[in-house]
Every structure is written in C-alpha cells, then in structure tokens.
Amino acid sequence: MKTQEVKGYRVWLNSENMHESSLKWLSELEFAKDEQLFFNDLIKSYTLQLIDSEHFEDAKKMSEQISKTHDDIIALIEAVKHHENGLEIMVDGLDQYEEEQAYRDEHRDLILKINAFLDEYKDLKKELFILIKGVIKEGKQKRLL
C-alpha cells in the first residue's frame, strides 16, 4: 500500500479511502451549492437596506464573491465526479503503476483544492452573516428612533 504526504501528514491512499473521500466531498459541495440559494435569497431579502446603508460596496463585493463561489462549486463537483469515475483504474486488478500513481496524485491535488475552497467558503459565510447582522441592527436602531 502506498502513502502520500499531504500538509505534513501521511494519508493512506487506497481505493476505498479515495472513494469515501470523493463521496464526502460531493456531499459537502452539493450542500454548499444549496446554501448558495439561501445566500442569494438572504441578499435579496435585504436589498433595500443594503442599497440604503453604508454597506453597499461590501454587499456588492459579497454578491460578486457568492456568484464566483457558485461557479467554483460547480467546477469542483464536476472534477470530483470525473475523479470518482476514474477510480476503476485502482480496482481493476491490473498492475498499471503509472496510471495508479497519476490517479493518487490527482486525488492529493483534489484534497488540497477542496480543503482550500472550504476554508475560503467558511470565511465568505462569516463575512456575509456579519454584513447582514449589521444591516439588521441598523434597521432596528432606526425603528427605535
């Protein structure tokens, strides 16, 4: 069994582990894709407040980032599906060392890409909620006055 080093630790890259990782990634990415719909609705719900407030520029950037993130999610889902379909090379019982190593390398690259994406996505969600929270607070303060 071969290992690869990813971010300072070693991961066993057998076909079962890679399959499970791919399924987990697809689940997380599909959930993020569904979250995008919620985020778009959230921004639409507070459009008037966002246009009126000093948060307009931030909201505009946030909306653009959400659109870009949606495109990234779609691309990553396609990459993971393509990768998952190529798993046959690992389980076909033939000794194809170069192809199997290339598949493991592709898997390692996906680990890095998806982890980086999910970290950025988490930051984007935090920024969005902070922005909307600020708009809601401003609205409440205006109503109290």
Model confidence pLDDT, tens digit, residues 115-145: 999 999 999 999 999 988 888 888 777 766 6
Model confidence pLDDT, tens digit, residues 95-114: 777 877 888 888 899 999 99
Q: Residue ranges of the domains in the chain?
A: 3-144
Q: How far apart are CA 29 and CA 23, in angstroms?
A: 10
**Is pLDDT at 31 greater than 90 in this prediction?**
yes
| DSSP state, residue 98 | H
How much of the chain, in percent, has pLDDT values that exceed 90? 34
